[in-house]
Amino acid sequence: MPTREYTVAVLGASGAVGQQILRNLEERSFPVKELKPLASKRSAGKTVRFRGEDVVIQEATPEAFEGVDIALFSAGGGVSEKFAPEAVKRGAVVVDNTNAFRMDPEVPLVVPEVNAEAIRNHKGIIANPNCSTIQMVVALKPLYDRFGFDRVIVSTYQAVSGSGASAVEELRKQSEAALKGEEVPKEIMPVGKLDKHYQIAFNALPQCDVAQENGFTLEEMKMVRETKKIFNDDNIGVTATCVRVPVMRGHSETVYVELKEDFDLEEVRQVLSEGKGIILQDDIDNQVYPTPLDAEGRDEVFVGRVRRDVINPRALNMWVVSDNLLKGAATNAVQIAEHLVSLDS
Amino acid sequence: MPTREYTVAVLGASGAVGQQILRNLEERSFPVKELKPLASKRSAGKTVRFRGEDVVIQEATPEAFEGVDIALFSAGGGVSEKFAPEAVKRGAVVVDNTNAFRMDPEVPLVVPEVNAEAIRNHKGIIANPNCSTIQMVVALKPLYDRFGFDRVIVSTYQAVSGSGASAVEELRKQSEAALKGEEVPKEIMPVGKLDKHYQIAFNALPQCDVAQENGFTLEEMKMVRETKKIFNDDNIGVTATCVRVPVMRGHSETVYVELKEDFDLEEVRQVLSEGKGIILQDDIDNQVYPTPLDAEGRDEVFVGRVRRDVINPRALNMWVVSDNLLKGAATNAVQIAEHLVSLDS
């Protein structure tokens, strides 16, 4: 048992990920001395539920971080850029769930199953990777250690909850309207801040973030860049196509990976099944494979459809599923905080 | 104008694809002298609408093919195996939309935009490829002609209508129940004839057909084998992962393709935009790309998200969408029949 307890701030406490962080802190018995739920002025004064009590949300201000030991940020990149330095100045360690600092060379980008040791090098901020990256690197880690790999080609099937609770509500409303043959409201998907909005209900949208100069989207380039940084290996090549599908919660990915060595498929399954944070569900003959609906509410990464490629005998194909709000966000952030705490003891 | 008119049988006339075939024959002004809608005993006596008239469905029997010139089959592989030889014996040319004869070396497998010339070699049966294969090869054809390619890695986002009208109804019912928080009926997806059924509403299922010995599914191996046969090129390597998504109609695919030559991306776009049967919708900066909902009811194959790969500069990534009941089935079959007719004149 840790002897020390911590004052923990959760910035974005009323959001989809913030809510899951609170639940994770509670379920994983994180040593919280005091919880400080923080949010924008608009949400301040509302309450969140924590350990059976209602805790009042305070407005996020620089001063709100006085006395905070660990601050879990999940309120958007702009908010992180504004408040992370303020929290650090006041002695907090920030675990940031946004894109603001991920590629900053001074900031460790951490998935504990892959590179927990990077946490030691933090200078006040530790970044939580993008949801799509996290589940992929967890699945790739045991393969990297045993066989090495050069190249990954990934296509995603991403849930709307990656765009927040309002996007989940939009999918519900659109689905209801479409089923009744009524006009479908389109206000958020695929990217809230962009001009054009498409129906996501009963549709698939090949855009999960803004466009980049090379024709890829930011979501796709996050997977490329973050994977190299997490493995600390610039030789890893990743090609990604990120697609939004009408799923509430849980991202799925088809992952093609070229290993560096010849492999025995049974050994690959063994290595995956023993991989940290992985649950192997792989028996297509008996229709056993993960689905986003089954992964909902679970902290692990689920891997199935493991098979040797038909063209390149050194390549593998897999289907990787995880709850984007948990391992893809809240769980990973709380796991980072747990590692931070373990460094104290 | 063709001087000849034809007696056309449509086997499976009451099914999802059969209905589209009737619509296509009518809309494309196919020279039908007499329409013979055929189906199982169960549907015989019902009527279908054709050119403003109700036409009675007859029971499919060997004798029903007497006097038929062209027979479009879309009633399942077993039915095709039983009746195609009977129809051919009676002088009909069969365009078969099932998997029964696709890999038969005596049977041409045809996507008119790619290999219309193969129709000339038929011995009574011409096979229509699998829906997922058709849209991919239409998109690949202009690239093949201009640059050549070795290798394709494809992930699919397939609509439930690929499993028939009852699967569409299942998605509707499941969606309604899920939105109300009621128990979700599971009877068909992912593969009607298999034991285990998963919820497809608000979910993604990495299985579109039965498992094969190599861990791939039949749907995936169809894409591998049919692509080689259609291009008449055994050097083409295809890796496929086929996934069912909660979309009513319209298949989408992420396609990674390694070209044989260096290329200029603008030339690739030009070549694609001039490709037969292709509509290029490719401007991510302005959020222009195809979606299955927009492709519904259209005969073409839509291509977007065209971009040079970040790792392999000779590789391209694309997003390919088409209506699986039209170009993926009915339209392609009727186009084959049109080519047959043109050989007569």
The domain spanning residue A60 has which CATH number?
3.40.50.720
Taking an 8 Å cut-off on Cβ atoms, the answer to whether A157 and B241 are in contact is no
Average pLDDT over residues B59-68: 98
Do B69 and B192 belong to one domain? no
Give the residue on A whose Cα is nearest the Cα of B205. Answer: A291
In this complex, the residue of B175, B293, B308 whose CB is nearest that of residue A179 is B175
Total Cβ atoms within 10 A of residue A53: 9
A1: in domain: no
Do B149 and B21 belong to one domain? no
Contacts of A312 in chain B (CB under 8 A): 237, 239
Average pLDDT over residues B271-298: 98
| Nearest to A146, CA basis, from A234, A66, A61, A260 | A260
Residue A63: burial class (beta carbons within 10 Å; 0-12, 13-18, 19+) = exposed
How far A75 CA sits from the closest chain B CA (Å)?
Answer: 25
Q: What is the pLDDT of residues A308-338, one digit of tens each?
A: 999 999 999 999 999 999 999 999 999 999 9
pLDDT exceeds cutoff 80 at B2: no
E strands, chain A, are 6-11, 32-39, 47-50, 53-56, 58-59, 70-73, 93-96, 125-127, 149-157, 237-241, 251-259, 278-280, 301-308, 315-322
Mean of the per-residue pLDDT values of chain B: 97
Q: What is the pLDDT of residue B344?
A: 85
| Cβ pair B135, B328 in contact under 8 A | yes
- DSSP run (H or E) holding B80: helix B77-89
Do A148 and A244 belong to one domain? yes
A196: in domain: yes
Contacts of A157 in chain B (CB under 8 A): 157, 204, 243, 245
Q: Is A324 assigned a ligand-binding role in the annotation?
A: yes
B65: in domain: yes
Greater confidence (A332 vs A164) lies with A332
Pairing of strands A47-50, A53-56: antiparallel
Q: What is the pLDDT of residue A120?
A: 96
Q: Which residues of B are annotated as a binding site for NADP(+)?
A: 14-17, 42-43, 161-162, 324
Do B139 and B96 belong to one domain? no
Rounded Cα–Cα distance for residues A130 and A109 (Å): 10
Token reading at A163? 């765009």
Taking an 8 Å cut-off on Cβ atoms, the answer to whether A214 and B310 are in contact is yes
Q: What is the pLDDT of residue B336?
A: 98
Do A299 and A336 belong to one domain? no
Average pLDDT over residues A62-75: 98
E strands, A226-313, are 237-241, 251-259, 278-280, 301-308
Q: What is the pLDDT of residue B180?
A: 98
In this complex, the residue of B238, B254, B311 whose CB is nearest that of residue A243 is B254
Do A95 and A160 belong to one domain? no
Q: Which residues of B are catalytic?
A: 131, 251
Do A217 and A297 belong to one domain? yes
Rg of chain A taking only CA atoms, in angstroms:
20
Confidence of residue A344 (pLDDT cuts 50, 70, 90): confident
How far B215 CA sits from the closest chain A CA (Å)?
Answer: 6
Contacts of B313 in chain A (CB under 8 A): none
pLDDT exceeds cutoff 60 at B1: no
Taking an 8 Å cut-off on Cβ atoms, the answer to whether B293 and A203 are in contact is yes
DSSP H stretches of helix in B105-153: 112-115, 131-146
B271: in domain: yes
Confidence of residue A113 (pLDDT cuts 50, 70, 90): very high
Q: Please tell me the total count of domains within chain A.
A: 2
Rounded Cα–Cα distance for residues A196 and B83 (Å): 50
A52: in domain: yes
B1: in domain: no
Do A180 and A49 belong to one domain? no
B74: in domain: yes
Do A77 and A182 belong to one domain? no
Do A183 and A207 belong to one domain? yes
Range of the domain at B216: 133-324
Do B81 and B145 belong to one domain? no
How far A181 CA sits from the closest chain B CA (Å)?
Answer: 12
In this complex, the residue of A221, A247, A306 whose CB is nearest that of residue B202 is A247
CB pairs under 8 A between A and B: 173
Taking an 8 Å cut-off on Cβ atoms, the answer to whether A256 and B238 are in contact is no
Average pLDDT over residues A268-283: 98
Give the residue on B whose Cα is nearest the Cα of A179. Answer: B172
Phi, psi of B316 (to 5 degrees): -120, 150
Residue B228: burial class (beta carbons within 10 Å; 0-12, 13-18, 19+) = middle
Taking an 8 Å cut-off on Cβ atoms, the answer to whether B291 and A317 are in contact is no
Q: What is the pLDDT of residue A3?
A: 72
Give the residue on B whose Cα is nearest the Cα of A294. Answer: B203
Q: Which residues of A are catalytic?
A: 131, 251
CATH number of the domain within which B290 lies = 3.30.360.10
pLDDT exceeds cutoff 70 at A2: no
In this complex, the residue of B204, B221, B293 whose CB is nearest that of residue A202 is B293
| Nearest to B13, CA basis, from B42, B31, B27, B30 | B42
Q: What is the pLDDT of residue B257?
A: 98
Do A217 and A286 belong to one domain? yes
Contacts of B235 in chain A (CB under 8 A): none
Give the contacts of A145 (CB within 8 A, at least 6 positions apart). none
Residue with tokens 């005993």: B41
